[in-house]
Amino acid sequence: MRWPTGVLLLTTAAFCWPGEPAGVENAERARVNYMLNCQGCHGPDGAGTADGVVPVMKDFVGKFLSVENGREFLVRVPGSANAALSDEALAEVLNWMLAEVSPGEIPDDFRPYSSDEVKRLRSVPLQDVIVERSRLIALMDASEKP
């Protein structure tokens, strides 16, 4: 039997579909974990809250990966570190979330978070989140100046 061309094209497209983002074994599981553990504050697309209490992650959060200690910060903020998620699940959510809400800001040399790294980082609480956040954003601003 000859298959209609449309079916063949669709099948090929499905096989060529890009896989899960790096460090994400199951994007659907990551999405559900994000919905249950993060979305209540951060919103479905990382927009945060209008009053700025929960900061905008959309098209932004990936920038932390380019400044020293920024990579650590994303795991050590209370929302990440204290989430009721295993180290493995938190690593997956972070990798998924970065690819989902801020793909354009992820540096080319980004290595996805591993569960070992997440375990190590989340065990050291941040002393002062607000101060560390401002410090990192000042570093970002300085590196973006021409």
Where on the chain is the footprint of ligand HEC (CB under 6 A)?
A: 37-38, 40-42, 53-55, 57, 61, 74, 77-80, 83, 85, 93-94, 97, 129, 133
CB of 145 to ligand HEC, least distance (A): 20
At 42, the amino acid letter reads H
Round to whole Å and give the CA distance between 82 and 125: 9
Round to whole Å and give the CA distance between 87 and 106: 21
Nearer to ligand HEC, 20 or 135 (CB): 135
State in Å, rounded, how far the first CA of the chain is from the last one. Answer: 62
Nearer to ligand HEC, 20 or 54 (CB): 54
Closest residue to ligand HEC: CB criterion = 79
Nearer to ligand HEC, 9 or 131 (CB): 131
CB of 71 to ligand HEC, least distance (A): 10
CA distances from 118 to 3, 40, 42, 137 (A): 48, 22, 20, 22
CB of 12 to ligand HEC, least distance (A): 35
Round to whole Å and give the CA distance between 111 and 74: 14
